Each structure stands twice: as C-alpha cells, then as structure tokens.
Structure 1
Amino acid sequence: MSRLSANALLLLAAAIWGGAFVAQANAMAHVGPAWFTGLRFIPAFLVVLPLGLIESRRAARPLTRRNWLSLIPLGLSFTAGTLLQQIAVVTTSVTHVGFLTGLYVLFVPVLELVVFRRPPHFLVIPAALSALAGTWLLGGGLDGLMLGDILTIVAALCFAVQIILMDRYVRATGRPVAAALGQSLVCVAIGLGAGAVFEPIDWNAVMAILPELAYAGILSGGVAFLLQAIGQQYTPAPDAAVLLMAESLFAALFAALLLGERLTTAGWAGCTLLFLALVTVQLGPLVRLPRFRAR
C-alpha cells in the first residue's frame, strides 16, 4: 500500500470519529460511561472478527506468547483513554473534550523522543502546533479547566501511548486486525466489569441508545480503528497522530451539514490551520534539509 493510500485510510477513520462525539454525548443521558464503553465495543469486536480469522489463516507465522502479552498494554491504554473521555463528556463540554483530546498529537512525538530517542521529521512539530491551534480556534478556546478537562488531558496521553503501541505492534507482527480485536476485547471486559460494579443499568435505556451503539460500535469502534491499524503500517506514528486529529475538523463539517450549525470566522481560520497541518504532514517526507559540504 502506498503512503498516500494509508493516509487516506487514516483520514477516513478521523471522519468516522468526528461523528462519534454526538453519539457519545447523547448516550450519556441514558447509561453510564462504563456500560456504554463496554457495550459499544461488542459490535466493534464482532464486525472485525471475520477479518481477524482471515488474517490469521493468511499469516506467515502464528502470534508468539510475547505478541499476545503485548496486546494487554495496548488494550489498557486504549480502554483508559476511552473511559476517561466518556466520563469527561458528562463533566465538561463536548467542545472542550474535542479540543483537549487533540493534545495527543503533541504527546506522540514527545513520547517517541523521550522514550525511544526517535526524533520526528522536522516538519511534524510545526504541523502538530498548527493542528493544535486550528482545533483551539475551531472550538472557541477554553475559559478555565474543570475536572472533565483534566480527565480529557489524561485521556489524550493514554491515546498517545495507544498510537505508539499500535505502531510498534503492527510493525512487529504484521497483524493489524489482531491488534484492533485485542484492544476491543480488553475494552469490553473492563467496561462491562466496571459497569456491573459501579453503575446501575436499565435495559430499556440500552434499547433507547441502539443507534448510538451501532454508530459508536460498528463504525467508530470497529471500522475506524481497523483503518487506523492498517494505515499505521505505512505512516509513521507522529504523522498518523496529526492526520487522525482531523476528527475535530470533520465533526465541525458534520455539524454544519446535519445540524445546521455555522462556523464563525475563528472557526474557518481553525479549519484552514488544520488543513495546512494535513498538507504539511503529507508533503513533509519530500522535504529534506540541505547538506553542506566542508570546503
């Protein structure tokens, strides 16, 4: 797969995620965050499972014990980020959650530099800052941190870890579907377990959110994360983080098309900065610093 095709898959995943914030917020009027998190990843797991079986049959070698164990930290980081984000939707505005979740675009290159001593392409940091500024303008800024804001910042850090672990797992095994299935299974187990212990459940309420579960589960939780896993085989993690951050841009576009919302001048400026960030990441590897010869 070409890098251009991989980037297109990552952008499609971002578009699907862009529509998920509304589903997540609407569902919180009926069920708790743990139940919703656990339930949404049941269809996510099932819709990807047939592809996992095909991938397993075609694999050149079976997964080792170390490969299976590597799915645990991947699933834990993903589940932690998802749960924290879902709780934050209840305790702060969706605008704040959408903005602060985008902080993972900065956390990814920082973590890769600090932990793995792997510096990103020199254009990734300016692109990340441009995307971050664009999301700030798109969301209207922040007027003070609340508990939900802090939870979202921690969630963004968890998602940054997940992006890096996904990158390393897929490159080591060549099994993107196994990675998507593994993190979904961990999410189901922890979400349903926490829901059963801490949250009362009304099954009539569950029936009321079936459309939200279908979108957040099948499309956002299943298809989009599978696209992420495939795309990250061919796009470096820091670049992928900036591309995936376009979910905030798609969220604004969906709101305008489906809900009749209109962007302010600052919002259009934010869209422009996000677009520039995506172009920078796309063209970045073609740019090389000049080499100077000693005289």
Structure 2
Amino acid sequence: MNIKEVRSNILLLITATIWGFAFVAQRVGLNYVEAFTFNAVRFALGALSLLPLMIYQKKVNEGQNKKSTAAVKTLLLGGLVAGSALFLGASLQQVGLAYTTAGKAAFITGLYIALVPILGIFLKQRVHFTTWIGVSFAVVGLYFLSVNEGFSINKGDLLQFIGAFFWAVHILVIDYLTKKVNALTLSFLQFITCSILSFIVAVSFENISVFGLSQAPVPILYGGICSVGIAYTLQVFGQKYAKPSHAAIIMSMEAVFASIGGMLLLNERLDLRGFLGCSLMFTGMLLSQVGGFTKSEEDRKAAA
C-alpha cells in the first residue's frame, strides 16, 4: 500500500465519521423540515461551500490547456448520473429516517458495502466466494434487525434497504468518474443535480416552511457544509487512489459512528435482537470485502 492509498484511506475514514453523525443531524432536522426540502437546502449549501475551492483551483490551473469538448461532456454527463444516484439514495434515506432510528438506518444503508462487488458483476468484475458468504450474513442480520415477530418489516427500514442499492451504484459511478474528470467539479455538479431534483419534488409535494428552516440551523448546516460539502468531496478525492473494496469497507464504519451518535445524542437503544442483527450485518460487510483484499495481494505478488 503506497502513500497515496494511505492518504486516501484516511480521507475515507474521516468521511465515514462525518456521515455517521450526519444520521443524527438528519433525524433531528425532520422535526422541523420535510425530507425533500431538507435535502434541497443541504445539497445546495454543500455546492456553495465548494465555490471558493473551485475559484482557487481555477486560478492555480490558469493558463493550462483547455478541456476538450469530449471531456466537458463526460464531466457534465457524469455529474448528472452521479447526482441522480445521489438524489435517489439520499431521498430514500431521509424519508426513511422518519420511521426508524439513526443507528438502524446507518446499518441498513451500510448494506451497499456488500452490494458494491455484486453489482460489479455487471461491469465484468470477478466476485470472490467470500462476498456471497458476507451477503448471507448481512441478510440474516437484516432479518434480526428489522423483521419483527409478525414477519413484517418497518417502513423506514424498507426504504433504507432500497436506498442501499442506489448508494452502491453511486460508489461505482464515483469510482469510474474520478479516474476521468476533475474531482472537485464533479462534486459540485452532483450536489447541484441532487439539490435541483430534491427542490422539484419539494415544491410539488411538500409545504416548504421558512420558519421550519430557521428552527433547524445546526442540522441543516451540519448536513450541508459537513456531510455534503466536506464529506462527499472527501469521498471523491479519497476514492481517487483507494481500491473500491477498500473504500467500501472503510466507509462502512459510518454505521458504527451513527450508532454511537444515536445513543449519545438521541438516547436511542437497541435490544439484544437488534445488537445481534447489527453484529451479523457488520460481519457480512467485512466478509464481503475479503475477496478485494485477497485479489490485491495476488496482483501485488504477480507484479513482483
């Protein structure tokens, strides 16, 4: 593992920490602001927070060769695709948080860790047998965490589960695009796309309240500046040199930080069944990534 990979992994761990506590901020925000309004504002704030960095970057790169038309198209299309995946994942997550706890939402969302290598099959990526073992553990864990005695699943947990697919897609899209386009500009474009789509839905179906927004400055600012502007941008830069499997396993730590935040700040508690479910899911997340590490070691030996 070279210094660039180490730096990337550190950035991704910081990202996981910020995202974990963001589940608390998002849940508190729902007490004052409806889901799509909250996301529209926080992703707009995230985009605005990047403008000073983009202006600075433009000055530093002034005089360099201009991008080709093809490169600009790739950037714009990439921002639209990444932003759309982000919108779907963030929307399902925020709506679902109204019906479940921050800790449970984070662990279920974390299923994208297991889904990333599975979806990679469609990109002709080899799936290690430990991935299937990991997915099995995760599914059993999800059962203990979310399915009650009547064999029904909580509405909020179901929305988080569906959203996990879109988070997995987002991880793969970002991994592909960071090798081809400017990471900072890509972050800005995906935030703007997500904010616009969220605003359209908010105007169509929600009652946008300025008073409600004024009552939730801390959740909105944390969700916008920290969770979006800082963390999602760190994700883009972090994934630039980190292997997808390594990135996924590090970011799975957000579930742990969310649980800690939920217990400390929201007084959330899990029963024994819930702890068992979380333990199995976390084990599944880890196992699903073992193949990625094994393959990397094989590649290293082959190159030696």
TM-score (norm 2): 0.80
The one-letter amino acid of 1:287's match is: E
Aligned to 1:231: 238
The more displaced of 71-80 and 88-97 is 88-97
Aligned to 2:164: 156
Question: Can you list the C-alpha shifts for 1:36-77, whole angstroms capped at 9, x where unaligned?
Answer: 000011221111222223344537652422321221111111
Aligned to 1:69: 77
**Are residues 153 and 236 of structure 1, via their aligned partners in 2, closer, same or farther at CA, if it must alter by over 3 Å?**
same
Q: Does residue 85 of the first structure (1) align with residue 98 of the second (2)?
A: no
Question: What CA RMSD, in Å, does the superposition of the two structures yield over aligned residues?
Answer: 3.4
Match among 29, 32, 50 for residue 31 of structure 2: 29
The more displaced of 217-226 and 61-70 is 61-70
Mapped partners of 1:214, 1:54: distance in 2: 23
**Aligned partners of 1:85 and 1:97 also within 8 Å:** yes
Aligned ranges 1:242-257 → 2 under 5 Å = 242-255=249-262
In the TM superposition, residue 285 of structure 1 has moved relative to its aligned partner by 5.7
Aligned to 2:52: 50
In the TM superposition, residue 34 of structure 1 has moved relative to its aligned partner by 0.7
Mapped partners of 1:253, 1:103: distance in 2: 18
Aligned ranges 1:1-295 → 2 under 5 Å = 2-56=4-58, 57-58=60-61, 61-62=66-67, 63-113=71-121, 115-119=122-126, 132=138, 140=145, 142-143=147-148, 144-173=152-181, 175-255=182-262, 267=275, 270=279, 273=283, 284=294, 287-288=297-298
Aligned residues: 287
SS in 2 for 1:227: helix
Mapped partners of 1:221, 1:94: distance in 2: 17
Question: Can you list the C-alpha shifts for 1:182-217, whole angstroms capped at 9, x where unaligned?
Answer: 110011111122112211122111101110001111
**Are residues 86 and 257 of structure 1, via their aligned partners in 2, closer, same or farther at CA, if it must alter by over 3 Å?**
closer
In the TM superposition, residue 122 of structure 1 has moved relative to its aligned partner by 6.8
**Aligned partners of 2:129 and 2:291 also within 8 Å:** no
Mapped partners of 1:82, 1:61: distance in 2: 34
In the TM superposition, residue 32 of structure 1 has moved relative to its aligned partner by 1.0
In the TM superposition, residue 147 of structure 1 has moved relative to its aligned partner by 3.0
Mapped partners of 1:108, 1:188: distance in 2: 25
Mapped partners of 2:198, 2:209: distance in 1: 16
Mapped partners of 2:290, 2:74: distance in 1: 37
**Aligned partners of 2:133 and 2:288 also within 8 Å:** no
SS in 1 for 2:33: coil
The one-letter amino acid of 2:279's match is: G
**Aligned partners of 1:99 and 1:135 also within 8 Å:** no
In the TM superposition, residue 156 of structure 1 has moved relative to its aligned partner by 0.9
Mapped partners of 2:111, 2:285: distance in 1: 17
Question: Can you list the C-alpha shifts for 1:237-273, whole angstroms capped at 9, x where unaligned?
Answer: 2331222111011122334555677888884983984
SS in 1 for 2:7: helix
SS in 2 for 1:193: helix
**Are residues 34 and 145 of structure 1, via their aligned partners in 2, closer, same or farther at CA, if it must alter by over 3 Å?**
same
TM-score (norm 1): 0.82
**Are residues 284 and 10 of structure 1, via their aligned partners in 2, closer, same or farther at CA, if it must alter by over 3 Å?**
farther
The more displaced of 150-159 and 271-280 is 271-280
Mapped partners of 1:81, 1:262: distance in 2: 25
The more displaced of 157-166 and 46-55 is 46-55
Mapped partners of 1:260, 1:85: distance in 2: 20
In the TM superposition, residue 284 of structure 1 has moved relative to its aligned partner by 4.4
For structure 2, list consecutive stretches of 5 or more residues without a partner in the other structure: none
